[in-house]
Structure formats: C-alpha cells, structure tokens
C-alpha cells in the first residue's frame, strides 16, 4: 500500500471514529454559521491537502443523468435526507486541479446549515445531499451546469468549472416553519 492510500485510510478512520463518538450525544443543535458567503482564506498546509484529495475507494458510486456523480465514502445511519429538511454539514470543495477553494472550517470552524431543496445552495448540493444519512460522508462531483456554469464565481471558481465537494452530514434538524 502506498503512502497516499495509507494517509487516506488513516484520515477516513479518524472521521469515522469521530462520527461514531460525537453524533449520538444530546444537546442543542450547533449554532448557525456566521456567514454563508464565501470568504477568502490562505491555502491549507500540504498535509491537509493530501487528506482532502478524493478517495480512491468508495462504498457506493452513482452517476445521475444530469452528470452529477455521487460517491459515498461512508453511508451513515438513520433516515435518509429528503428535500425540505434542514441539514447540518461540514464540507471541503476543490477544483479539478486539486486546489481547495472553500471549506466549512474557513468560516469560523462552524458547520454549514441549509434547507435541502430550497435553493440556498448550488443545484448539485440540493440534489447530492438527498439520500445521505447522519454521519455519512459523500463526495459530489458536480458538472458546471449544476454549479456556477459559464460565469463561474470569480475569483475562486473559474468559468465552466467542475467542482468536487466532500460533505459530512452531521445532523438533520426540523425546519423552522414558524407560525
């Protein structure tokens, strides 16, 4: 086994151990992120980049007709996410060249909370999170048509960019429906 695969397996073991140990505790949900807007941040140290590169082995892979590729790293537990549910996730996103352009840890270390299917995120996320289970880790390979399209999102995301996100579903919470 080469060093790259070994590092990936150690990272995955750590994520799975963390998931098993912390997602069964009670208590209030995590606070919402301070800002959902993309913020610029300095690049991560090289050792973090290696751990965040796409995994070489997946539990399950599915490619949808619109080009979205769902690659499950860890399936999780509980009921699958359905559109309209509020989800709490951590994520890392990178371009095809391996450059990380955004990560939840860059936003004050807080998880990202959104209502799936409500248009609060790119279409690839709205479609790609459906079916995940709490504790699950899914990698999404999102074609430009389900991301930022021809215009991109300068300066971080160039035009017609295929994006890869590794998403860890921490919790599914009731949607605030209000009176």
* Residue 106 DSSP class: G
66 is catalytic: no
Q: Which of 100, 122, 142, 167 is catalytic?
A: 122
Q: How confident is the model at residue 174 (pLDDT cuts 50, 70, 90)?
A: confident
**Burial (CB count within 10 angstroms: exposed 0-12, middle 13-18, buried 19+), residue 93:** buried
CB 51 within 8 A of CB 7: yes
Q: What is the pLDDT of residues 82-101, one digit of tens each?
A: 999 999 999 999 999 999 99
- DSSP track, 53-64: SPPS--SEEEE-
CB 171 within 8 A of CB 90: no
Q: Is the link from the previous residue into 149 a cis peptide, with omega within 30 of 0?
A: no
Q: Which of 47-51, 56-60, 63-67, 115-119 has the lowest mean pLDDT?
A: 47-51
102 is catalytic: yes
Residue 177, pLDDT score: 58
Q: Supply 11's token pair.
A: 């990272």
Q: Supply 19's token pair.
A: 């998931």
72 is catalytic: no
Q: Which of 101, 116, 137, 157 is catalytic?
A: 101
Domain boundaries, the chain: 54-179
What average pLDDT does the segment 120-127 reach?
A: 96
122 is catalytic: yes
160 is catalytic: no
Q: Which of 72, 74, 91, 167 is catalytic?
A: 91
Closest CA to 73 of 24, 1, 19: 19
Domain covering 54-179 in this structure, CATH number: 3.10.50.40
Q: What is the pLDDT of residues 140-150, one digit of tens each?
A: 999 999 999 99
Q: Is 0.75 topped by the overall pTM?
A: no
């Amino acid at each position: 086994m080469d060093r790259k695969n070994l590092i990936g397996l150690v990272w995955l073991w750590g994520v799975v151990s963390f998931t098993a140990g912390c997602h069964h505790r009670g208590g209030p949900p995590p606070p919402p992120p301070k800002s959902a807007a993309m913020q610029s941040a300095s690049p991560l140290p090289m050792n973090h980049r290696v751990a965040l590169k796409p995994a070489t082995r997946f539990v399950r892979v599915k490619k949808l007709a619109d080009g979205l590729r769902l690659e499950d790293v860890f399936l999780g537990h509980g009921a699958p996410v359905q559109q309209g549910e509020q989800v709490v996730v951590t994520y890392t996103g990178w371009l095809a060249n391996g450059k990380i352009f955004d990560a939840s840890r860059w936003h004050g270390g807080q998880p990202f909370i959104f209502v799936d299917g409500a248009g609060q995120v790119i279409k690839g996320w709205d479609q790609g999170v459906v079916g995940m289970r709490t504790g699950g880790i899914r990698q999404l390979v999102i074609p430009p048509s389900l991301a930022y399209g021809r215009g991109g999102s300068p300066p971080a995301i160039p035009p017609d960019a295929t994006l890869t996100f590794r998403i860890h579903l921490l919790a599914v919470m009731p949607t605030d429906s209000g009176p």
